[in-house]
Amino acid sequence: MSMEKVASKQYESKVWPEIVDSDDSDVENEIDVDKLPPLEVGPGENRLQHTYCLWFSRKGTQRAAADYSKSLHVVGRCASVQQWWSLYSHLIRPTALKPYRELSLFKQGIKPMWEDPANSKGGQWVIRLRKNKIERAWENVCMAMLGEQFLVGDEICGIVLQTKYPEDSLSVWNRTATDMTSTTRIRDTLRRILNIPLTTAMEYKIHCDSLKYVSMPRPRNRRWGSLLTRTRYSFHTKTGL
């Protein structure tokens, strides 16, 4: 099967360039991912253990669940190594994306949202990367997930790349924040894949804590607001590579 035919099969969104260039977070998403038929895998293709969906979104200043859900757009799916590379080769490079855009590669059936049942009790390892390193890191971590290199069973949900300024971030989401064995193994695998020194601290965020934080009313008193912000993040250590 030619790469062109594979590409045409995997793309779900016909307005990918328009979605990427738009500054509107609520561009209509015409795809209902739950109603998509199973992907066919050709006899010469290497089947993945799971089917994955690639999502695109624009991160706004407010993060209500309904608004964020509207900003999610299915770009494509892959069920084999060949389908992934075909999809990947047609994507706009992360360094060409505007700030506050997100690319998310998740197992089909799981949306890249804290509120998704598969994510609600989990968390994410977050790594901040300089823009000249984000593309290779995104590619390597995606391939590690597709190739089941994390060795944590069904714990991995997906990967999120977020463009920011001046640095970008890459995060790996897992199902169970309290599963210390799995979260530690995910961290150690990330260190190995991205050559992160053992002396460099990494940040783990629990999704339910993030949900509580964004739903908190913002106090008018600036000094009190600053105290809340410091308290919320005081348990996280950060890394920039």
Q: pTM to 2 decimals?
A: 0.80
Compute the distance between CA of residue 82 and CA of residue 6 in angstroms, rounded to an integer.
8
Q: Is the pLDDT of residue 193 over 90?
A: yes
**Residue-wise pLDDT tens digits, 171-180:** 999 999 999 9
Average pLDDT estimate for 219-229: 42
Tracing tokens 């348990």 back to the chain, one arrives at 235
Number of helices and strands in the chain (H, E): 8, 7
Compute the distance between CA of residue 16 and CA of residue 115 in angstroms, rounded to an integer.
25
Burial 178-202 (b: 16+ CB within 10 A, else e): ebeebbebbbebbbebbebeeeeeb
* Phi-psi category of residue 27: left, alpha or beta, with phi > 0 → left and psi -120 to 50 → alpha: beta
Average pLDDT estimate for 71-84: 93
Structure tokens at 111: 């949306």
Q: Quick check: 81 and 6 in contact, CB under 8 A?
A: no
Q: Which pLDDT band, with edges at 50, 70 and 90, does 117 fall under?
A: very high
- DSSP 3-state of 73: strand
Which are the contacts of 93, defined by CB distance < 8 A and separation ≥ 6?
Answer: 135
- DSSP 3-state of 227: helix
Q: How many CA atoms lie within 13 A of 66 on its CB side?
A: 0
From 104, 45, 53, 105, select the one nearest 76 (Cα to Cα).
Answer: 53
- Selected residue with higher pLDDT from 197 and 122: 122
Q: Which pLDDT band, with edges at 50, 70 and 90, does 2 fall under?
A: very low
**Given the DSSP bridges, would you call strands 73-80 and 47-58 parallel, antiparallel or unpaired?**
antiparallel
**Residue-wise pLDDT tens digits, 25-48:** 445 555 677 788 889 999 999 999
Q: Which pLDDT score is estimated for 241?
A: 59
Q: Which pLDDT score is estimated for 15?
A: 45
Q: Which pLDDT score is estimated for 215?
A: 54
Structure tokens at 137: 């890191």
Structure tokens at 144: 């590690």
> 3-233 — its CATH code?
3.30.760.10
